[in-house]
Amino acid sequence: MSLTLFFQLIVNGLMSGGMYALVASGLTLTLGVIKIFNFAQGQFYMLGAFITFAAVEAMGMPYPVAILASLFCMGLLGVLFFFGIIQKTMSQGFFATMLVSVLFANIINQVSIFTFASKDQVLAPIFSGKLVVGEVTISTGKMVVIGCAIIIMVLLHFFMKTKIGTAMLASAENMEVAKLQGINTRKIFWVTMAVGCGLSGIAGSIILPVTGAYLMMGPNVFLRALLVLMLGGMGSMSGALIAGFLIGIVESVAFQFVGYFNILAILVFVGILIYFRPGGLLGKPMPIPGE
């Protein structure tokens, strides 16, 4: 394997891994804080990409503004989803909310088949050109995607350090005691939902210039995000980050050797790792529903 190929594989892996990490951290946040397993997260990712495309192509917004628009729209959709549907089923427990989100994902999928997602959309590349370091050539667009993903993860880290972030972590730990301390848990619920869904939307919009927007991007990314969630530990934010990049790199490198069997390679990899660390890579995650 030449050095260029090796670095290109790593960059590809980091790029897709960044996406997995962002979607999975949205998933892990909603699971850890408000105990909701949101299966519609992948569909939010797809919608984010399409909204960014529409904002850039149809409304002529500059790309960074379109990213913010997608973040806002997906956050809003998440909040509406929470208040409209999830809140009514929460009294029936973890399992009913999970099934509701599965059905909601199905509805989004079907609606988008009939309307906007009937054909793939490709945005003109925002960052063309290549980065040449010695004999290694790397596309600039992919580097920007990786950079954006890391910046968003850092921002998320600082968000969790603010007052509302600590309130979120407190209610993740124990909802009853958090209520006693004067935390407005109703507010925590919708803020968490907005942040979780917004993360998916923003992931979809930053990957758009590289891969374009298509219908299957939602389910594809969601399956990997599930694996990231398992590997990183359910409810662990930093675990999702590390596991996301790890799975991205393993997938990309395995593709070079075994072609489209690479998903099996990740499954074996994740299976072996969670055999030795069932609680996730980093150990202690947020408490999750169960025993």
Partner 1 sequence: MTWKKKRILPVFVVLILLAFPFLVSQFTVQIGITTIIYSILGLAFALSMKVGLPRMDIAAWWGFGAYTSAVLMKAGVSFWLTALIGPVLAVIAGLFFFSICLPRGMMAFFVFCMILSIAFYQVFGSVPVLGGWGGITGLPAPMIGSHELVTKTELYYLCLALLVFNIVVYYLLYTSKTGRAWNAIGSSLKLSSSIGINVVKYRMVNVLIGNFFIALAGSFFVGYYRAVMPAIFSFQAGLFILIYLIVGGFSYSIAGPIFGALIVNFMPEYFRFTREYQSIVTSIIVILILMFLPMGILGWFNLKAKTWLVRRKWYPEVLR
Residues engaged in binding partner 1 (CB under 8 A): 39, 85, 88-89, 91-92, 95-96, 99-100, 102-104, 106-107, 110-111, 114, 219, 223, 226-227, 229-230, 234, 260-261, 263-264, 267, 270-271, 274-275, 278-279, 288, 290-291
Minimum separation from the CB atom of position 279 to partner 1 (A): 8
Nearest 5°: phi and psi at 36? -125, 125
Q: What is the CA radius of gyration of the chain?
A: 19
Is residue 286 helix, strand or coil?
Answer: coil
Nearer to partner 1, 138 or 286 (CB): 286
Rounded Cα gap, residues 249 and 91, in angstroms: 40
Instruction: State CA 159 to chain mean position distance.
Output: 16
Which CB atom, from 106 or from 181, has the smaller least distance to partner 1?
A: 106
- CB 280 → partner 1: shortest distance, Å? 9
Q: How far is the CB of 257 from partner 1 (least distance, A)?
A: 15
Q: What are phi and psi of 121, to 5 degrees?
A: -120, 135
Least separation in angstroms between residue 175's CB and partner 1 is: 18
What single-letter DSSP state applies at residue 136?
A: E
State the nearest-atom distance from the C-beta of 260 to partner 1, in Å. 7
Question: From the CB of 125, what's the least distance to partner 1, in Å?
Answer: 32
> Is 19 in contact with 44 (CB distance < 8 Å)?
no
Which is closer to partner 1, CB of 73 or CB of 270? 270
Range 51-58 contact pairs with CB under 8 angstroms and sequence separation of 24 or more? 51/201, 51/205, 52/123, 52/204, 52/205, 52/208, 52/213, 53/121, 53/123, 53/208, 53/213, 54/116, 56/123, 57/121, 57/123
Q: Closest CB to partner 1 among 92 and 166?
A: 92
Q: Pick the closer one to partner 1 by CB: 132 or 267.
A: 267
Nearer to partner 1, 85 or 136 (CB): 85
